Amino acid sequence: MKKIKRIGMVVALLEEQQHLIKSFGVFVKNYQFGEIKVSEFDYNDCKIFMADSGVGEIHAALSTQMLILKFDVDVILNFGVVGSLSDNLNCGGVAYVGEIVHHDFTTSYKDRDNKAGKYLFQPDSFIFEADKQMLELAKKVIGDKKVVRIVSGDKFVDDNTFRDWLINIFAGEICDMESAGIYFACRNHNVPFLMIKAVSDSADDNANEDFAATIDAGVTFYVDAVKKLIDYLC
């Protein structure tokens, strides 16, 4: 991996951004591109560009591509809260994303169970792999965390029936609304990336209430991990 000097961070929610902003360096300036705001920070020998992406795959992909093309970042880091689809990941638990599934992409709604998540350039599998080199770096610097499969799509999962479908069809362990967009932007530009997620809810019928009650605690859990990684890179 080449020397890291310019770090791009994609963050969807204001609560997540507020915790991170307190931890990273000297604020330089803000840039506004339509609905997307990018904040620049000086941190040790690095530049950090934090994109306020907003929620959803399209905003996440646009923000990631903007960081790559306009700010020439060397790496993309994504931190965010997720819903858990696994009994082994409770609220506050932190995990690395090892595999990404775009669950609401399908070329045939009639055959959704078979076609969901499968792109025409990869028709036999819905699984896309995360950046292995960045995963190994995270394990070395931050420590061992569970490496999980995330199912990502433009729907907040707060329904037991849909939750069960994500588990049964994709063997998903966590879910969010941005990871697929970030993955495809990084893949398209061959930029290394790492996603670290903290569980805020169980993606069930009580998800909205759990999310509102635990998001601050969930974010706090991964801020220390993020700082360790940034300190190492810079």
Domain spans of the chain? 6-233
Q: What is the pLDDT of residue 191?
A: 97
Give the separation between CA 80 and CA 199, rounded to whole angstroms: 9
Question: Is the pLDDT confidence value at 205 over 70?
Answer: no
Q: What share of the chain is helix, strand, coil (3-state, %, to 5)?
A: 35, 30, 35
Q: 10 Å Cβ neighbour count for 208?
A: 11
pLDDT of 224 above 90: no
Phi, psi of 35 (to 5 degrees): -90, -5
pLDDT of the residue at 211 = 55
Residue 207 predicted with pLDDT over 60: no
What is the reported pLDDT for 234?
86
Quick one: pLDDT band at residue 45, thresholds 50, 70, 90? confident
| Residue type at position 135 | L
Confidence of residue 208 (pLDDT cuts 50, 70, 90): low
Is the pLDDT score of 125 beyond 80?
Answer: yes
**In angstroms, rounded to a whole number, what is the distance separating the alpha carbons of residues 117 and 163?**
16
Return d(Cα 131, Cα 75) in angstroms, integer.
11
Select the more confidently predicted residue: 45 or 153.
153
Q: Is the pLDDT of residue 129 over 60?
A: yes
Superfamily of domain 6-233: Nucleoside phosphorylase domain (3.40.50.1580)
Inform me whether the pLDDT recorded for 135 exceeds 90.
yes
In this model, does residue 133 exceed pLDDT 60?
yes
